[in-house]
Amino acid sequence: MRAVDYRPVLIEEELLGGVFGTAQKINDLIEFVSSQIVGREKIIRQSFYALLTGEHQLLFGRTGMAKSLLARQVFNCFDQATFFEKQLTKDSMPDNLFGAYDILQLKKGKMFHNVEGSIVVADFAFLDEIFDANDMLLRSLLSLLNEKRLVNGEQQVFSPLNSVIGAANYLRNTEILEAVIDRFIYKSHIPDNKDPYIQILIDHAYQKNGGQVVDPDYKIGLDDFLSLKEVISGQSIVIPDYILFLKIIY
């Protein structure tokens, strides 16, 4: 009788066990972040959904709604990952995001970015006040957000960038801004909450941590996160025609 090799089955079960374990850790971390950023559980859950699907999230709300703290606390749940953060202004230039121009390439008449330490080589990024940026910078962001690559003339660099969380407290109506907003699949409006009980919980959390990011008991390694993301991306969702119709007319 031919011996049966059970090792492939055991390996597959081990991988699935690891994926399910990571999924449970994600749920635990959602609860942890929600305990630090009070009254934002649904939005925090959307943040993790954005990360797990490799999409981007826009946090929209007035100043003082802890949008920056929320993004930093979410990203602080991951280990062995590279983070990039920048507050944008109307004077922000492409080299502020994509790295300074390479001097040796400039001498040859080429404007190539030295991407080391830039958003291009980051796994996750937070862009604060994203709509303060000028249209030139926003236009240069489009290919990175959509195709995960930097396109700058002859220079094309593929990026490991998984997700960007952007924050804004107002909108301005321009064609390029509409294109940028379209890249943020998850759009999360942060409403005011005047509930006295919620306000007390927020004040307690702020006093305890001083408005700083808190380390969870454990973090998720980037490799484990990417394994779970790969399983999720392998699942297809069929969108009914009536939903597509509503998307078109609205």
- How far apart are the C-alpha atoms of 147 and 168, rounded to whole Å? 23
Both structure tokens of 85: 């953060």
What does the pLDDT read at residue 16?
60
8 Å CB contact between 59 and 80: no
Say which CATH superfamily domain 7-249 falls into. Answer: P-loop containing nucleotide triphosphate hydrolases (3.40.50.300)
Distances (CA, A) of 185 to 54, 88, 182: 10, 20, 7
pLDDT attached to residue 151? 87
Contact 150, 156 (CB under 8 A): yes
Q: CA 247 → CA 236, 238, 241, 243, distances in Å? A: 19, 15, 10, 6
For residue 250, the model assigns a pLDDT of 58
Q: Please give the pLDDT value at position 1.
A: 46
35-55: pLDDT as tens digits = 999 889 999 999 999 999 999
Alpha carbon distance 250, 239 (integer Å): 16
Under-50 pLDDT residues of the chain: 1-2, 4-11
| Tokens, residue 165 | 């969380």
The answer to whether 125 and 145 are in contact (CB under 8 A) is no
